[in-house]
Amino acid sequence: MLPLFDLSLKLKGFPLVKAEQLLNEILKISEDEYEKYTLEKRKDIVEFHLLNNQSYQSFIGNKTIENWDEIPVMTKKDFQKPLLERISKGFSKKTIYINKTSGSSGDPFIFAKDNFCHALTWANVKRLFGWYDIDFNHSYQARFYGIPLDFVGNKKERLKDFLSKRYRFSIFNLSDSELEKVFSKFKTKKFDYINGYTSSIVLFAKFLQHKNIVLKEYCPSLKVCMVTSEMLFEEDKKLLQKHLGIPIVNEYGASELDLIAFQNPNNEWQVNSETLFVEILDINNKPVPNGVEGRIVITSLFNKAHPFIRYDIGDIGILDEKSSFKKPILKKLIGRTNDVAILPSGKKSPGLTFYYVTKSIIEDDGNVKEFIVKQLKLDTFEIEYVSKIELNSSQINKIEEAIRTYLEDGLQFIFTRKEVLKRSKSGKLKQFQSNL
């Protein structure tokens, strides 16, 4: 069988073989040498962007940086300007990978990785999934993710699914009748693993629980389930293990960066130290000791196209006391969860659905800075947003059209422009809030 996944990356210009060679070299670095390696890599990426990235030069300003802790922390707000103003010298749209964040934090933006950095991301993801005998070129994935519903976007995503051996279930309608169809697919297809949004897979497990079903009994080929993008609570993990009948692996990542942490076979949440440098900082941007709670701040060690240096991802976490430079362990992650929206028809949609609705208003001109969606009643939602100017009727019409496409007719939306949005105690903005 042709290695379609590897081949698809190569055809898109992502040098996977070269990336895998470098990754293997990194993995061979001893524990004793790893701190030196990490400090050199983070120094190199800062120097590169200070020389080649005008946006980062402006961000640093005239500050004289003498040690790492003096480097200013970046936030999503620092990326609220056109992408081409943030790209390093020597890169163009043809030599970079471009994507858009989900906006789950309320601060969506378009980002870029250079082609080699993107290939390195996939090389590492392939390695980590291999811990559970999953091979992207041959293993068949049951995918619980969103998908664009416009014709071109949908076809592109379906093609990627084909090349990546994935069957995608729509998460926009998770009513019992739709989950019955999902279950039917598991009875007829030989899936090797499940991957997708935590809340969607949990809803499916609750459906199975109601019917007293263990999924593996109907789909014996299943080996493992990887959940991502949202908090996995312990009681939900137990539910998944019982009614999927397979090991549950917790993944923590960010599209603009990489996999940040991945549960290893020893049930530890192992932090990615191969392509990232992860710090836990206090409110004054100073590192806290391992075992102490703080803000998760990340440096992408290989992204030369776009700086992510001491980037505050918007989460709170704790590194385990036994962490080392080569093997950091994430002891606890705080505050990554999305509610489920219940609609008048009975449909249930995860909060991340609103990414697909609201992205129609996300322009790469920096107008809409932040937004949150609140469900006030079954049929009434409020979008609070911060922007330079009021949303116009054309933009509102686009949003309402997207709502009809992704959710259902008859929903009422209130648009409220705010100077600032109310944040949680942790400082994170929760994109979707249900008042039901």
pLDDT digits (tens, 9 = 90+) for 80-125: 889 999 999 999 888 999 988 866 555 678 999 999 999 999 999 9
Residue 104 confidence (pLDDT): 55
d(Cα 400, Cα 161) in Å, to the nearest integer? 28
Measured on CA atoms in the order 396, 397, 399, 400, is the torsion positive or negative? positive
Task: Find tokens 């020389």 and name the residue.
Answer: 51
Average pLDDT of the residues in 182-198: 94
Measured on CA atoms in the order 141, 145, 149, 153, is the torsion positive or negative? negative
The mean pLDDT of the chain is 87
Give residue 366's pLDDT band: very low, low, confident or very high (50, 70, 90): low
The whole model's pTM is what?
Answer: 0.78
Q: Where are the alpha helices (DSSP H) in 94-165?
A: 115-130, 151-163
pLDDT in tens, 56-83: 999 999 888 889 999 999 998 899 889 9
Residue 19 confidence (pLDDT): 97
Higher confidence at residue 126 or residue 203?
Answer: 126
pLDDT in tens, 219-235: 999 999 999 877 787 88
Any bridge partners for residue 410, and if so which? none
Give residue 337's pLDDT band: very low, low, confident or very high (50, 70, 90): very low
Of the chain, the percentage scoring pLDDT greater than 70 comes to 91
Average pLDDT of the residues in 150-170: 82
Residue 203 confidence (pLDDT): 83
Query: With helix as H, strand as E and coil as C, how does 11-65 read?
Result: HCCCCHHHHHHHHHHHHCCCHHHHHHHHHHHHHHHHHHHHHHCHHHHHHHCCCCC
Best mean pLDDT range from 163-167, 194-198, 233-237, 274-278: 274-278
Answer whether residue 359 shows pLDDT above 90: no
- Within 10 angstroms of residue 58's Cβ, the number of other Cβ atoms is 10
> 3-state SS of the chain: helix, strand, coil percent to 5?
35, 25, 40
Residue 148 confidence (pLDDT): 72
pLDDT in tens, 254-286: 889 999 999 999 999 999 999 999 999 998 999
Average pLDDT of the residues in 382-397: 85
Measured on CA atoms in the order 397, 401, 402, 408, is the torsion positive or negative? positive
Answer whether residue 338 shows pLDDT above 60: no
CA atoms lying within 13 Å on the CB side of residue 350: 24
Helix (H) or strand (E) holding 144: strand 141-144
* Angle in degrees, CA 325, 330, 335, rounded to 5: 140
d(Cα 436, Cα 433) in Å, to the nearest integer? 9
Higher confidence at residue 215 or residue 77?
Answer: 215
Do the strands 258-263 and 269-271 form a parallel or antiparallel pair, or are they unpaired?
antiparallel
Position 314, amino acid: G
Answer whether residue 245 shows pLDDT above 90: yes
